[in-house]
Amino acid sequence: MASPAQQLPPGWAAEWDQNAQRYLFIETATGRTQWEPPFPDLEGMDPAMNPAPSASPPPQSHHVKRRQYAAGQTQVYYGSDTIAPPAGPAYGAVPGQPAQPSQLFTPGLAAEGQFAQQQMGQPGQPPYYGGAQPEPEYINQPGFGQGPVYQQPGVGALADQFSQMNVGQQKGLRLFTTNLLTAPPEPLELLRPPPDIVLPPNSCLSNSPFANADSSYQRCTLNAIPTSNSLLNKAKIPLGLVITPYRSLKEGDEPVPLVTDTVIARCRRCRTYINPYVQFIDGGNRWRCCMCSMSNEVPQLFDWDQVRNQPGDRWARAELNHGAVEFVAPTEYMVRPPQPAVYVFLIDVSHNAIQSGMVATATRTILENLDRIPNEDNRTKVAFIAFDVSLHFFSLSPGTSDSSMLVVSDLDDVFLPKPTDLLVNLTESRPAIENLLGRLNDMFAENHVIGSALGPALQAAFKMMAHIGGKIVVLSSSLPSLGAGALKNREDPKVLGTSKESALLQPASPFYKTFAIECSRAQVSVDMFLFSAAYQDVATLACLPHYTAGQTYFYPAFNASRTEDAVKFAHEFGEVLAMPIMLEAVIRVRASKNLRLSSFHGNFFVRSTDLLAAPSVPQDLSYAIEIQIEDNITAPFVVLQTAVLHTTCYGERRIRVVTTALPTTSNLSEVFASADQVAIATLLANKAVERSLTHKLEDARDALFNKMVDILSAYKASMTAAGAGASAQLAISENLKMLPVLILGLLKNVGIRQSAQIPPDLRAYAQCLLTTLPAQLLIPYIYPMFYSLHNMPPECGTVGEQGIIMPQPLPLTSERLERHGLFLIEDGQTIFLWVGRDAVPQLILDVFNLPSYEVLRGGKTTLPVLDNPFSQRVNAVIQKTREMRRGVYYPHLYVVKEDGEPPLRLWALSCLIQDRADVLPSYQQFISQLRDKVNGSSY
């Protein structure tokens, strides 16, 4: 290695200090000494031209391991003001020249030459981008502080240096241990944000709080990524990403910023989009990719304000300040011009569908929501096909209010009876569409035909729209029985609860998967609304939405004569129609070097290894992706970026980019302290459903239990004094203390639960929800909310600063139920109002307008709004429950009497997952089983 003396500027000498085991640098003119290597012009230095000085001693008989620092690296970590001695010129300045001011990024300032000034110090920044320079060894090292002693002015400066280095991993990542045996679940824990993401200094270009995408768009199971796969395996926590790229916006939510100038900077090698975690170099003319370290040119118009036609402020650009951003795409991102939104409605008009009132409710809902269907540019097209044992097409001529019906009975070779006027412009044919929707139910009112040609109807819809793409909306009330995709009733009560049950959850016919893949290629997605009172094979029919990025909605035993059924379906169907969908979407997730996306869960078709095809992306649909660490990570932080290229339903091609940066760590305690229990539960729910289909339901349950045991065993072995021995405690980090009860909730969920009483359709639908709900909806689905209403504080149910004030949630155990009380239990899909048998008549009168408990009837109901404060507060809490989460779901309300119908009581009590139920353990029993297993595996 070359001696540092050969690389010193004139007027400096280097001398080896035997005590400190490092070079001391001496300024010969003044006699001033310093430990840091001097450079004539640190700010303008090119690290490629000036390699890091060697810190190795002169050749000796023994070898001493030394830390190595890249040129200028230490100043960035320590700050130049703490390194330089108080006297003399500023560190790095040439003697005789004025000292440079501290080089800090100042977004928003565009003073003359300021950008070049700011960038000058960049080559001395730590090599976050996978460069060949050595990484600082003093971060998170067990023996920190036992190495060389640096020249430091005093204790205050030492504290400053530690704070700048982020040693001890800072405020957000302190590890607190809790004993699960003595710490009962606290429901409010699940409403808290995930652990802080504490990035190294200088990793982000922007000071914006939005530089990392909000966790509702993208969250990782670990907010500090282990530097090696062995460290990840030691923690036993699954590494994965949970994505909801198009979450709906509630009141007060920040919209995703839109970049309209079509200037899109991307890495030439890995195609990463520019984001707040890149590094500008070469005076701001180039930028270095945060994923692959490639140097890229900054586009010419990047610093130009096209609206005002004048130079723009680079630091104000949305993509450098926001983790979630949307670009208007130029023409090179289009395979074809943006197509209009297309909706083809397939309406079952068989006897069951007419009798249940489904057809009347559906047509009325479509009619009432025609103005809400996305159609700002007046290009949206619609078509209607009714089906029973034949296909009924409707010709809707533009400019008239007349429609004619054309019947096709040949189901083996489906054809379109007319080349035009079947798929029509919504605006131009509006009178004919309104007329048809008003008459459709009456046209089939006397229809006694039983049978369903759903498969041929799907083929006809596909022929009609394949050249454009769009959405098929299926409304079906019976099992498909004719033509392609015909199914048989395979429900067998003897199989339920046995190892063969998982076969009922797999598709019975290959037609639906192969047809779905055809749809995906033609940019057609399918939404299924299923209504049958009898077996409908949800598991098979849900294949269509699964592979085409649609959604399945299930209304078992639907009957529109019950107002509650009609209101629920009309609300949800109306919201789906009004939803601004994203068409012709492809989703790709990119990750930093040495991270590999290993498997994908959710509703889409994997077109190539990492390209997910989604003909439409509905709002609030969630995806989960497992990540593997392939090789040791040397960078101080990693970046995960999701890009969704799509066409809006208003005909504009756009790219939504969601970026998350996470620090890396070699410290196991930080891995545990950064774990996000909500993201872990979401990922495990997806994995459990997949395992129940590829193996058995029992295997899925075992895998969940064993994963929890593994995490607890790893924590006990590495983080507690008990180590490998038996322990009377069951320790876990504070931020994971709700994970066991979430796992218990999954084990007791209808989609996974051990039971011989759950119909296959209900189980299959529950599994659809487990794999598509975003975390905000999934967590209450597996760990419901439980409130006491009769004694809630007086402000609950009234309007506060954040809207309706909700009561405090209670732990999910029947010990909290009181005989004289009124309680609300809800899981996002259903609301139960539990009434104790000793409820006083005044309570019954105030809430239900009935004289006594005995007169009250249990079951599905609509609560009256009465002229008394308590009734209004209870109704406000129920209304808030229905509105507070994202998604289209409108939960039914059931009144449950303590001594009422056993099935309804058991259904409501099954939500109290901390109680024992049937063969399933209580929370205390579950924790004891975990402790025994953890201790047992220690011997």
What pLDDT, in 10s, does the model give residues 136-179? 322 233 333 333 333 333 444 433 444 344 443 344 478 888 98
pLDDT over 80 (residue 20):
no
Residue 502 or 255, more confident: 255
pLDDT class of 766 with cuts at 50, 70, 90: very high
pLDDT over threshold 90, residue 347: yes
CA distance 549 to 326: 21
Residues 339-343: what's their mean pLDDT?
90
DSSP string for 320-347: GT-SEEEEE--GGG-SSSPPPPEEEEEE
Token representation of residue 369: 């929501």
Residue 315, pLDDT score: 87
- What residue segments make up the domains of the chain, in order of their start? 8-35, 218-333+583-664, 342-493+504-580, 687-780+922-935, 784-911
Of the ranges 202-206, 300-304, 319-323, 792-796, which one carries the lowest mean pLDDT score? 300-304
| CB-neighbour burial class of residue 150 (10 A; exposed 0-12, middle 13-18, buried 19+) | middle
Q: Would you say residue 297 has pLDDT above 70?
A: yes
- What pLDDT was estimated at residue 613? 87
User: What CA–CA distances, in Å, run from 386 to 360, 454, 456, 580?
Assistant: 13, 10, 11, 25
Can you tell me the mean pLDDT for 707-720? 90
Q: What percent of the chain has pLDDT over 70?
A: 83
Query: What tens digit of pLDDT does each residue of 361-376 get?
Result: 999 999 999 999 998 8
Lowest-confidence range among 707-716, 718-727, 741-750? Answer: 718-727
- The mean per-residue pLDDT over the stretch 199-218 comes to 90
- Quick check: helix, strand or coil at residue 834? strand
Q: In the structure, what pLDDT confidence band is assigned to residue 935 with cuts at 50, 70 and 90? A: confident
- 102 pLDDT higher than 70: no
pLDDT, one tens digit per residue, over 67-76 is: 333 333 333 3
Decide if 676 contacts 194 (C-beta within 8 A): yes
pLDDT of residue 19: 62
| Residues in CB range of 548: below 8 A, 6 or more apart | 516, 519, 520, 524, 525, 526, 603, 605, 614, 615, 616
DSSP code at position 86: S
**pLDDT value for 8:** 76
> Tell me, what's the pLDDT at 879?
92
Structural domain 218-333+583-664, CATH architecture: Sandwich (2.60)
Query: What pLDDT does residue 740 have?
Result: 94
Q: Please measure the distance between the N-terminal and C-terminal CA atoms of the chain and give it in whole angstroms.
A: 52
Residue pair 555/530 in contact by the 8 Å Cβ criterion = yes
Q: pLDDT tens for residues 387-432?
A: 999 999 999 888 888 888 999 988 888 888 888 889 999 999 999 9
Helix (H) or strand (E) holding 474: strand 470-476
Task: Summarize the confidence of residues 504-513 as an average pLDDT.
Answer: 87
As assigned by CATH, the class of the 687-780+922-935 domain is mainly alpha
The pLDDT, as a whole number, for residue 886 is: 85
- CATH value of 342-493+504-580 in 3.30.420.40, 2.60.40.420, 3.40.50.410, 3.40.1350.10: 3.40.50.410
Residue 66, pLDDT > 50, answer no
Which amino acid appears at position 268 of this protein? R
* pLDDT one-digit tens code per residue, 783-798: 999 999 999 999 999 9
Q: What's the CA angle centered on 36, arms 35 and 42, to 5 degrees? A: 160
Condensed to tens digits (0 to 9), the pLDDT of residues 770-786 reads 999 998 899 999 999 99
- How many Cα atoms are found within 13 Å in the side-chain-facing hemisphere of 703? 20
pLDDT at 937: 53
Average pLDDT over residues 703-722: 89
What long-range pairs does 530-533 form, CB within 8 A, spacing at least 24? 530/476, 530/477, 530/554, 530/555, 531/353, 531/356, 531/358, 531/475, 531/476, 531/477, 531/555, 531/556, 531/558, 532/352, 532/476, 532/477, 532/478, 532/479, 532/556, 532/761, 533/352, 533/356, 533/557, 533/558
- Evaluate if residue 933 carries a pLDDT over 80: yes
Average pLDDT, the chain: 81
Least confident of 308-317, 523-532, 576-585: 308-317
Question: Which residue stretches of 335-488 are H helix?
Answer: 351-356, 358-368, 430-443, 454-465
At 382 the pLDDT is: 94
DSSP 501: G
Distances, alpha carbon 454 to alpha carbons 401, 462, 466, 476, in Å = 28, 12, 18, 8
Q: Mean of the pLDDT values across residues 93-114?
A: 38
CATH class belonging to 8-35: mainly beta
DSSP 518-550: HHHHTTEEEEEEE--SS---HHHHTHHHHHHT-
Q: What does the pLDDT look like over 513-539, one tens digit per residue?
A: 999 999 999 999 999 999 988 888 899
Name the CATH superfamily housing domain 784-911. Severin (3.40.20.10)
Per residue in 875-909, pLDDT tens?
999 999 998 888 899 999 999 999 989 999 999 99
pLDDT at 364: 95
Q: What is the pLDDT of residue 323?
A: 92
- Mapped onto helix, strand or coil, the DSSP state of residue 660 is strand
